Amino acid sequence: MSVSSLRLQVESALAGRVASPFRFREATAPVAVPIGIYALDELTGGLPRGCLTEICGPPCSGKTSILQSALVACTQASEACALVDAQDCFDPVGAQKSGLELSRLLWVRCQGIDQALCSVDLLLHGGGFGLVALDLGDIPARLTRQVQLSVWFRMRRAVEDTSTVLVVLAAESNAKSCASLVLRVEKEVTAWSLSTQKTERRAAHTPGCLLDGSTHSAEMVRSFLRRKKPLSIDRAKNCKPSGTTRFQISSDEQIKEEKSHEAETLQAAEVSAERR
């Protein structure tokens, strides 16, 4: 069999699935969507369109907060988004208070990982979404490990050459090389506030605690957009790696207090400037 006939046979077999299999395509950097958290945008450059992004970490590590921030940024930019919730754990009221436009969000409530994977496949092939998120954060890691690599490869192929951002939340990374960006997040410090007692009389029960905020660390495990800087041999041990960053998550009450403090500081500065 000649080379030309063999090439024609391969092209006909891949027709409709692979466009021009023998033509070299130059790799171009995809357009990125901002996450909405300055430290993470500086680290990653944003979430790449037409690619699969994984955000992994243990419970309470900040995965949902990162996804919610990205959804807020996309919906406020008049883009339609879809959230496939594998365990029906999404809080629409809290998300709306943070700025998410629920009218631009399709919430797919599933009862297990199988329904979630089928829903994502339908959404990606249907198209029309700026961001599609698959939340597997509450699925046990032993179940997510059973997802075959071909499933992740099919998702990557479905979103490739489109303007859709595909984000997967899980306890650990499972897509392997199919993911263009992998972030691992962990919780470092949690800030709690004790409710102050208005009377001098000692309470008979333990006073309640309110969550003020928390500090998290994020490590860029893999990125096809940005490559990690090489580490020198004599690098100090206490230096922070180049592919990591820290970000804070604050409660609504803490944000109000910070804004009130900033307003009081600004007002005091204006008063002192007028006296001078």
What tokens appear for 172 in the block?
């650990």
How confident is the model over 5-20, as a mean pLDDT? 74
Find out whether 240 and 217 touch, Cβ atoms under 8 Å: no
pLDDT digits (tens, 9 = 90+) for 41-57: 999 999 999 999 999 99
- The residue among 239 and 124 whose pLDDT is bigger is 124
Local structure of 246: helix, strand or coil: strand
Element (H, E) at 131: strand 131-135
79 belongs to a structural domain:
yes
Read off the amino acid at residue 77. Answer: A
Residue 130 domain-assigned (yes or no): yes
Q: Which pLDDT belongs to residue 27?
A: 58
Print the domain residue range for 91: 28-191+215-227+242-250
pLDDT of residue 238 exceeding 70: no
pLDDT, mean of residues 107-123: 94
Given a cut of 90, whether residue 206 has pLDDT beyond it is no
Number of domains in the chain: 1
120 versus 255: which is more confidently predicted?
A: 120
- CATH code for the domain in which residue 35 is found: 3.40.50.300
Task: Mean pLDDT check: name the lowest of 6-15, 45-54, 235-244.
Answer: 235-244
Write out pLDDT tens, residues 18-46: 666 666 565 566 789 999 999 999 999 99
Q: Is residue 160 part of a domain?
A: yes
Q: Residue 208 domain-assigned?
A: no
Q: Domain for residue 186, yes or no?
A: yes
Taking alpha carbons only, the member of 74, 62, 54 closest to residue 224 is 54
- DSSP labels, 172-209: S--SGGG-SEEEEEEEEEEEEEEPPPSSSSPPSSPPPE
Higher pLDDT, residue 159 or 1: 159
Decide the pairing of beta strands 165-170 and 209-223.
unpaired
pTM for the predicted model, two decimal places: 0.75
- Tell me how far apart the alpha carbons of residues 30 and 48 are, in angstroms, rounded to a whole number: 6
Q: What is the mean pLDDT of residues 142-166?
A: 93
Find the angle CA(161)-CA(165)-CA(171) to the nearest 5 degrees: 125
Domain assignment present for residue 109? The answer is yes
In a domain, 255, yes or no: no
In a domain, 236, yes or no: no
pLDDT at res. 2:
78
